Amino acid sequence: MKLKIAFSSCPNDTFMFHALVHGLVDTEGLSFDIDIYDVEELNARAQRETFDVSKLSYHGWFTVRDRYEMLSSGSALGWDCGPLLVCRAGDTEVLSRSGLRIATPGCYTTGALLCTLAYPGLGEQTPMLFSKIEGAVADGRFDLGVLIHEGRFTYRDKGLDLVCDLGAWWQQTSGCPIPLGGIAVRRSLGPEIAASFDRVLHRSIQYAFAHPEASRDYVASYARELSATIQQKHIDMFVNRFSLDLGEEGRRAVDTLYQRYERDYLHGGRQEGVPHGRQCGQGA
């Protein structure tokens, strides 16, 4: 059976999927059409069920969980790896102002969700490509920005200061690691296909851990603007034991975030799958 699968160009995803894509592990008779997109594009395409298997932000998955099942393997979930809320360097009074303009990496990203949970009513969120947020805040187009991926490692060099480590805020208020994103499969494919792909992806991640050099060129080909050092930091931060298997602790973290999503996000004036206009604009 051929599956349409999609994941992001970020080093953690290309590292995990390298062996699967290149036929280095047993695929149990499955074959794949591969697409690579920004994670927010994947979140949006999941609304239309474009792919059989897709990387999704956990926030994005919450909006399609009736149609997609999250796999045990492939998650970016852990401690001290969450999104960062940043401002221009020296703007120490930013949170005292009203009507703040906030750049986020997408309405359906976990970063946007955490920003809303931590700072309800802070300002209007505008989605944009994650890699453009640092520059948009540094040049004054936005007062605040939510950084994901490699932004954790580069924001100070871009003239930005940390306002809040949203991952640390989540850990302190929930006692759980932060669920960022995972790999989901269409429920209509049935449990046997889902279980088979989960095993294949688990093997691919095991291979990546056992042969870390094998995927280096593949990872670099999709992360051209990142140094090899940043690529490795990215992998080390976001690929861990939870990537191999969510386990009980990981599932409890996901359930806790979903409960907060329902209680404070949906019941706070949003409809499932539809960003609230006061919080998330039409993009920039």
The amino acid occupying position 204 is S
Q: Which residues 6+ apart lie within 8 Å of 11 measured at CB?
A: 219, 222, 223, 226, 231, 232, 234, 235, 238
Q: Give the catalytic positions in this structure.
A: 149
**Residue 239 DSSP SS3:** coil
For residues 115 and 278, give the distance between their C-alpha atoms in angstroms, rounded to a whole number. Answer: 14
Give DSSP secondary structure letters for 57-122: EHHHHHTTTTTEEEPSSS-EEESS---EEEEETT-TTGGGSSSEEEEES-TTSHHHHHHHHHSTTS
What's the CA gap between 192 and 182, in Å, rounded? 19
* Distance between CA atoms of residues 77 and 242, nearest Å: 6
Q: What is the DSSP letter of 274?
A: B
Q: Is 49 helix (H, G, I), strand (E, B) or coil?
A: coil
Q: Name the 3-class secondary structure at 45.
A: helix
Please give the structure tokens belonging to residue 64: 């399609």
Q: Are 170 and 82 in contact (CB under 8 A)?
A: yes
CA distances (Å), 21 to each of 18, 50, 123, 192, 213, in order?
5, 19, 42, 21, 16
146, 104 contact by CB (below 8 A)? yes
